[in-house]
Amino acid sequence: MTGTTEYRVLFCDLRTDQLLDALPVQSLALDDWIGKTGSMSATIPVPNAILAARVRRAVVPGRTAVWVERGREIWWGGILWTASTASSTRGFLTVQIQAGTWDSYLAHRVLLDTQEATQVDQFDLVRGLLDYAQRAPGGDIGIEYGTEVSGVLRDRTYSRYDQPRIRDLIDNLAAVEGGFEWRIASYRDPGSGRRVKRLQLGSPVLRTGTADIVLAHPGPVLSYTWPVDATGQANTWQSRGATINANQAAESVPLLSPVLVADDDIAAGWPRFDGTSDYSTVEQQATLDAHARADHARARHPVTIPEITVHMSRTPLSPALLGATIRLRIRDLWWPDGLDQRYRVVGLAITPPARGQPETAKLYLEAA
C-alpha cells in the first residue's frame, strides 16, 4: 500500500473471523478510545477487473470484519459499516470504506426481553448484557471477557417495552456514580497467534501499564493542542427520570432528583450555570439520584482534553497505551517555568507514514 508499507488491512467474515482477503489501501487513518467508538477509514484503489472482483467479495458492509496489522501486531479491529464506490472523470475506480470498533455492534442490538438483577456486580451486569446479545442466533461475533469484578453491586430492571439499545444500557450503567470504563480491545494472542476481541472493564477507570512513559516538548512531542471548553459547565444540576403515576386522578409528572448546587463554586466567584439530564427509563429514585450526582461532578469544571502529536520513530507506541499513564514535560512560551504533569491516555489516533510525512500518533489525555 502506498506510503503505509508497515500496515496491512485484513478483511474477514464477521461471525467466523475467516480471512476473506488482504487488500491494498491508501489514506489509512484509525483511532481508538476509552468510552466511545473508534473509527477506521481508507481508500481501496481498483485498477483492474481482478481486484474489483476481490473487493466485491470481501467488502460487504455489516458483514465484514476489518483488522489492521502493523508488522505482526494487531493495531485496530472493528466492523465495516460503509463502502462507497467512486469513479473519476478519467475512469479511475476507488472504494472508500469506514469501520467502527467492535463496540459499535452493540449499538445495533436491542434488548427484546425484560432483564432483572438484584445486588449484582456491575461488571457481571455488563457481561450479562453481552451474553444476551451473543446468545441470539446470528448474534455471536466472538467478543470474549474475563471474570474480574468491581465490588459495586447494582439493582437493575431493563424492560423490553423500552426497547433499549444494549450499547446505551452499558453506557448508562458506566456513567452512574461509582461506575466504570469499558472498551473492546483488539490484539493477537501471543501464544496461539489468533486475533482476539476482548471486553476490558475498569472501575472507576481503565488503567494499563506500571511505569510512566516520559514524553517531552521539544522532543518526541511534535506539537500539542490544549482546549478548554466551558460550554457544558454546570454547578447546579437536576436529573429527570421516568413518568410514574400510581394515582390515575393525579397529574402525571416525571421522577426528579434533588437540585444539586455547588455552593463552594458560587462562593468562589463563579456565575451560576444550570444543567439537566434525562433518564426516561429510570424508575428508582436512588438510581436517578446516583446519575444526577455523577453528572453534576463531571459538569462542574470546564472540559480539558489535551492532545499531543508524537513522532513514532522517536518513541515506540502501541494501542496498548490506552489507559496508560504518561509524564508530559513542556517548556515554551506558554509554560516558561515548565509543565511536568502525569496524564492518562484516553484516546489514540494513528497516521501512517506518507511521502515526506513521518508516522505519528495523536494522544488524547486526561489528568491522571
DSSP 127-173: HHHHHHHHHSTT----EE------S-EEEEEE-GGG--BHHHHHHHH
pLDDT at 4 over 60: no
Q: Which domain holds residue 144?
A: 109-202
Q: Where among 247, 265, 299 does a domain terminate?
A: 299
Q: Report if residue 145 sits inside a domain.
A: yes
% the chain with pLDDT above 70: 97
User: What is the overall mean pLDDT for the chain?
Assistant: 94
Q: How many domains does the chain have?
A: 4
Residue 48: per-residue pLDDT: 96
The bridge status of strand 339-351 relative to strand 26-33 is antiparallel
Q: What pTM was estimated for this model as a whole?
A: 0.92
Which domain CATH number covers 164?
3.55.50
Tell whether 273 and 324 lie within a shared domain.
no
Q: pLDDT for 247-294, tens place per residue?
A: 666 678 899 999 999 999 999 999 999 999 999 999 999 999 999 999
Please answer whether residues 222 and 334 qualify as being in contact, where contact means their C-beta atoms are separated by less than 8 angstroms. Answer: no
pLDDT at 317: 87
User: What pLDDT sits at residue 366?
Assistant: 95
Cis ω before 336 (30° cut-off from 0): no
Task: Report pLDDT digits (tens) over 77-124.
Answer: 999 999 999 999 998 999 999 999 999 999 999 999 999 999 999 999
Please tell me the predicted confidence (pLDDT) of residue 249.
64
101, 119, 149 — which closes off a domain? 101
Asked, for residue 37, whether it belongs to a domain, the answer is yes
Cβ-proximal residues to 129 (8 Å cutoff; 6+ apart), any chain: 106, 111, 115, 166, 169, 170
Residue 2 located in a structural domain:
no
Is the residue at 1 inside a domain? Answer: no
Q: How do residues 320-360 score in pLDDT, each as one tens digit?
A: 899 999 999 999 999 999 999 999 999 999 999 887 788 99
Same domain, 68 and 132: no
Buried residues in 219-239 as b, exposed as e (16+ CB within 10 A): ebbeebeeeeeeeebbbbbbb
Taking the C-alpha atoms of residue 94 and residue 26, their distance in angstroms, rounded to an integer, is 10
Q: Are residue 81 and residue 121 in the same domain, yes or no? A: no
| Backbone φ, ψ for residue 250 (5° rounding) | -95, 160
Do 333 and 359 fall into the same domain?
yes
User: How high is the pLDDT of residue 267?
Assistant: 97
CA distance 272 to 208: 38
The CATH number given to whatever domain includes residue 29 is 2.30.300.10
Domain end point (choices 101, 122, 143): 101
Q: Can you tell me the mean pLDDT for 141-168?
A: 97
Question: Angle at CA 24, nearest 5°, toward 22 and 29?
Answer: 100
For the chain, give the longest Cα–Cα distance.
Answer: 74
pLDDT value of residue 316 = 80
Q: Read off the pLDDT of residues 159-190 as tens digits, 9 standing for 90 and up.
A: 999 999 999 999 999 999 999 999 999 999 99
- Asked if residue 190 belongs to a domain, the reply is yes
| Angle subtended at Cα 89 by Cα 87 and Cα 95, rounded to the nearest 5 degrees | 15
pLDDT score recorded for residue 247: 64
Model pLDDT, residue 102: 98
Contact 129, 117 (CB under 8 A): no
Residue 239 grid coordinates? 436529573
- Select the more confidently predicted residue: 248 or 126: 126
The letter for the amino acid at 260 is L
Are 174 and 313 a contacting pair, CB within 8 Å?
A: no
Residue 221 is part of a domain; what is its CATH number? 2.40.450
Taking CA 245 as the corner, what is the angle to CA 240 and CA 247, rounded to the nearest 5 degrees? 150
Query: What pLDDT score was predicted for residue 357?
Result: 84
> In this structure, is residue 208 part of a structural domain?
no
Residue 321 forms part of a structural domain: yes
Q: What is the pLDDT of residue 251?
A: 77
Q: Are residues 217 and 363 in the same domain?
A: yes
Q: What is the pLDDT confidence band of residue 5, given thresholds at 50, 70 and 90?
A: very low
Cα separation, 17 vs 204, whole angstroms: 32
- Does residue 245 surpass a pLDDT of 80? no
Report d(CA 341, CA 360) in Å as an integer.
Answer: 22
- Asked if residue 3 has pLDDT above 80, the reply is no
pLDDT band at 1 (very low <50, low <70, confident <90, very high): very low
